[in-house]
Structure 1
């Protein structure tokens, strides 16, 4: 059991690193630093001297090595979970191993399909999903005794905030995979207007090549603007919902620490988003914005775990069916 817990902690830390490295590769335009997969110019180890751009190739291979290491750790977790039955259910670790396998396929398709936005966005969401499931597994193994039972309103607010945050991360991935982060270079307006010219139909057509419409013509500025503006609108909803949840938690002594954590991460993430626009997307801030999204997702997920933990404890004692008890 101790090894299982240690591997879960290691895997969650590695997953966060992989998310950061993936953003670093994507935002530094190194996604095609290696034109083949899984090696680089036919080399599984290292980058050959004849690489077209060795710096970008090393970035890509660093991400691949980290992702492969994470995959191996998750396979170890899955194997241990099957050995430790029935104390540990192997269902969620097995599902996690399946997600990692699919992530590897998405990584391959990212290269072979030349950074197709749908594939790149799915790869980002897969990384966030991997991190979220590892956070959940850690919470199941390292949880403290159930705290005070949260009100139905807090529980509903937690679930709404989590759902909207997932949607916002998907919108952010779509911005990044379409290179639309600089479509609006001012804030809070966009191109000097509150409602600039936007083409939502082309912006959110998912089956198309990078920089092109579904018909194969060049993607317009108005479409890129719509992608960026949609992410800003999502950020406003996150600010209102997650911010309101954080303030509600602050008003309850038993949940004050959670409220402070949620509001601090939210303020950091909003601040990083604004700074990326005003400073023209400097790479360190852009990567930090991706990592901030992962941390806010993890914190919101952990909050939901705690909000429902008291309810689950009551249901376990009463023998009623349980919900939101993944990984048991």
Structure 2
């Protein structure tokens, strides 16, 4: 039974990886300006399989891969239903995943029909990453179910401060993803053409309009990096959070470096795609850290040293 659940967990992990590939392909479609290469939806030029050129290959391929992910999720759900323990443990999160997927399909259609309106592009980015996070959490839970069948799973306690810090990181990540989507959809990536300054020797020339959007994106990136560094430091020796928080720190450092490269190299497609891929990986890692921190036992406060009055009297 444990082996069957473990195989199911591996299959969901594979689907998760395909989903992250789909997110990266969406970023490439955006960076290549191919978002309207298929100007209608759900068909492309009124056909299920249109005549292909480079732009159509990107956009139609993105749609085809999205359809494949949907079908795979249905198939894996049927497989999960046959595993009583896995179904009981994961059906709630699976239901949420289907709802997020349905919303993402609607947003994908609106993104085309609304001619790449900023709110549709940003929402499509956020919900796509949320779907990836749902699959990541599903995979992790399935591996746990398999492990529980082999024996009890123990978790080390986590201090309330670390739990709060983990939730703070999640909030900053969500804000940063939203800002990143707005920067991209409003073409504000190069309104500050330099780094670390914005223009000339001015770091913060204005917080109005697109300039303010880009500067806020940078500031939240710095805040997120600092928060993750604090989390990694505080959880360094924790048996479960320590490794994952250090991975989180590595990912955010890479992400900041890619953001800087995007500005200095003038938004090359390859760097933009890597920036989106790392952002998606950062979201998955953040979700796992928050999940582990939230589900762990709260560490008890340090016991105070006994006072003399509390000590029993010794009768000679």
Relative to the length of structure 1, the TM-score reads: 0.81
Which of residues 235, 238, 251 in structure 1 aligns to 2:221?
Answer: 235
* Residue of structure 1 equivalent to 2:51: 48
- RMSD of Structure 2 on Structure 1 (CA): 2.1
* Residue of structure 1 equivalent to 2:105: 104
After the TM superposition, list the runs of 4 or more consecutive aligned residues in structure 1 that deviate by more than 6 angstroms: none
| Structure 1 residue 13: Cα displacement | 0.9
* Residue of structure 2 equivalent to 1:209: none
CA distance in 1, matches of 2:246, 2:9: 28
Contact 1:82–1:89 (8 Å) recurs in 2 = no
Which of residues 171, 177, 180 in structure 2 aligns to 1:163?
Answer: 171
| Structure 1 residue 254: Cα displacement | 6.4
* Residue of structure 2 equivalent to 1:179: 187
| Structure 1 residue 270: Cα displacement | 0.9
Contact 1:11–1:70 (8 Å) recurs in 2 = yes
| Local SS of the residue matching 1:311 | coil
| Structure 1 residue 179: Cα displacement | 1.3
| Local SS of the residue matching 1:87 | helix
Aligned length: 285
Alignment deviations for residues 106-146 of structure 1 (CA, whole Å, 9 cap, x no partner):
11111110000001110001111101111111111113533
| Local SS of the residue matching 2:167 | helix
Q: 1:296 to 1:146 in 2, by over 3 A?
A: farther
CA distance in 2, matches of 1:110, 1:241: 33
Larger Rg: 2
| Structure 1 residue 25: Cα displacement | 0.6
CA distance in 2, matches of 1:147, 1:276: 40
1:258 matches 2:244: yes
Alignment deviations for residues 136-181 of structure 1 (CA, whole Å, 9 cap, x no partner):
1111111353331111111111111112111111111111111111
Once the two structures are overlaid, the 10-residue window that deviates more, 61-70 or 140-149, is: 140-149
| Structure 1 residue 24: Cα displacement | 0.6
Which of residues 3, 6, 9 in structure 1 aligns to 2:13?
Answer: 9
* Residue of structure 1 equivalent to 2:142: 141
CA distance in 2, matches of 1:90, 1:253: 28
* Residue of structure 2 equivalent to 1:197: 206
Which of residues 211, 228, 240 in structure 2 aligns to 1:225?
Answer: 211
CA distance in 2, matches of 1:167, 1:81: 34
Relative to the length of structure 2, the TM-score reads: 0.84
| Structure 1 residue 10: Cα displacement | 2.2
